[in-house]
Amino acid sequence: MYKIAIFASGSGTNAENIIKTFHGGNLLRVVKVYTDVADAGVIERLRPYGVETEYVEPRVWRQDPGLVVDALRAEGVDLVVLAGFMRLVDKRIVEAFPRRILNLHPALLPAYGGKGMYGHHVHEAVIAAGEKKSGVTVHYIDEHYDRGEILMQAEVEIEEGETPQTLEAKIHQAEYAIYPRAIAEALRRMPPSVPRKTGIPPALPHSAPPVPEPHETPADASEAPQQGSVPPPLPEVESVWAQELKMDYDPEEAARRAQQQMQNGAPAGHGTPAGNGATPPPNPAGPVNLQGPEQSEPVPPNYFVLSIVMTLLCCTPAGIVAIVFSSMVNSRYYSGDVEGAKRASRNAEIWIIVSFCLGVLSTTLYLPFSMLFGG
């Protein structure tokens, strides 16, 4: 089952549509919705679906997007879906999820895109220009507004006397029809070369929920995505993980840290819509639920540098023992022997202290020693 994270700033109608479409299937699950607006409508709207919403304050989006990346990785997110997210996604997030962030733009890109072209501004510009057709575009994100590679498009006809409001309604219908299909297609296209996360069996969507073939939807097709023909089973795709972090990445700690930071940074309005007397939305639970035995605990410290320094400067024999234990920490941890790794780490620490004490001892004893034995 693929894991999807949604970024949303507004009322969340597209987010809701996605959740409803894939609910009960085994293709994907929306694990979290992140928003940059404390009282965004999406928080209330998604509450009945039991999908966690998390407010991340603008400062974090702007200056510390690494926290968002950490949280996404900790959740094991395969694909990020922007559903009315107003912020330009920071380069660091894009770099961490190349070709794995989707956006929906209410126009036929490359036309009517770019900064400032959002929501009703687009429809007004389209009608003002006298266009006969508009549409929606689903595209991958790069770090510019609306410039990434296009995945899917659908057209909408513009009639005589169309107003921005009526056009907006038609566009919304096209959005609800196309976005789930585009997401399924994007998952189909996930690179199989993406490394597998240890301990997680590959996701095998044997029976994906029926997704109709993507086709140009005329404006009047206002139904929700139809139960059409069953597509061929999607190829086996490993869940995405951060290969370069395999060495020392403890997702649980990162998730805890990221959530803690985001909660510390968030004001009292964390997830609570303004003026709502109801119970606050469910807080993000404690540690992230991880699979894989070797990742239930963070990697113990390996005392690498200290062992080397101790060998060189304090007491060589003890330092060498410390080095030996230190080399065992990482190898044991990544072969699944967490207990052994912890023991090795403790032993390395002990021998470092022994080395230090012997060094101090030999220093302080040197004088009397040499006086006794004539140096």
| Residue 210 makes contact with another protein by CB under 8 A | no
Q: Which member of 48, 305, 368, 374 binds another protein (CB under 8 A)?
A: 305
CB of 93 to another protein, least distance (A): 15
**79 contact partners, CB below 8 Å, separation of at least 6:** 2, 3, 4, 5, 28, 100, 101, 102, 183, 186, 187, 190
| Residue 327 makes contact with another protein by CB under 8 A | yes
230/367 with CB nearer another protein? 367
Q: Which member of 222, 291, 296, 331 binds another protein (CB under 8 A)?
A: 331
**d(Cα 173, Cα 161) in Å, to the nearest integer?**
19
Site track 103-132 with another protein (rule: CB under 8 A), x = hit: ------------------------------
| Residue 272 makes contact with another protein by CB under 8 A | no
177/323 with CB nearer another protein? 323
Classified as helix, coil or strand, 55 is strand
66/119 with CB nearer another protein? 66
Query: Do residues 359 and 314 make contact, with C-beta atoms less than 8 angstroms apart?
Result: yes
Q: Which helix (H) or strand (E) holds 102?
A: strand 101-105
Concatenating the DSSP letter of every residue in 14-47 gives HHHHHHHHHTTSSSEEEEEEEESSTT-HHHHHHG
- For the question of residue 23 being annotated catalytic, the response is no
| Residue 311 makes contact with another protein by CB under 8 A | yes
| Residue 95 makes contact with another protein by CB under 8 A | no
**d(Cα 137, Cα 146) in Å, to the nearest integer?**
9
Q: Which stretch binds another protein (CB under 8 A): 16-24, 135-143, 154-162, 365-373?
A: 365-373
Beta strands in 117-232 (DSSP E): 133-140, 150-157
| Residue 309 makes contact with another protein by CB under 8 A | yes
Show the DSSP H helices in 76-145 as ranges.
91-96, 120-128
The CA distances from residue 107 to 103, 157, 165, 213, 219, in Å, are 12, 12, 14, 21, 13
Q: Which member of 129, 169, 204, 313 binds another protein (CB under 8 A)?
A: 313
23, 105, 144, 206: the active-site residue: 105
| Residue 370 makes contact with another protein by CB under 8 A | yes
Query: Do residues 16 and 49 make contact, with C-beta atoms less than 8 angstroms apart?
Result: yes
The CA distances from residue 94 to 38, 89, 185, 341, in Å, are 23, 7, 19, 34
| Residue 314 makes contact with another protein by CB under 8 A | yes
Cis status of the peptide bond prior to 209, with omega within 30 of 0:
no
CB of 324 to another protein, least distance (A): 8
150/350 with CB nearer another protein? 350
- Footprint on this chain of another protein (rule: CB under 8 A): 66, 70, 242, 244-249, 254, 302, 304-305, 308-309, 311-317, 320, 323-324, 326-327, 330-331, 358, 362-364, 366-367, 369-370, 375
| Residues recognised as catalytic | 105
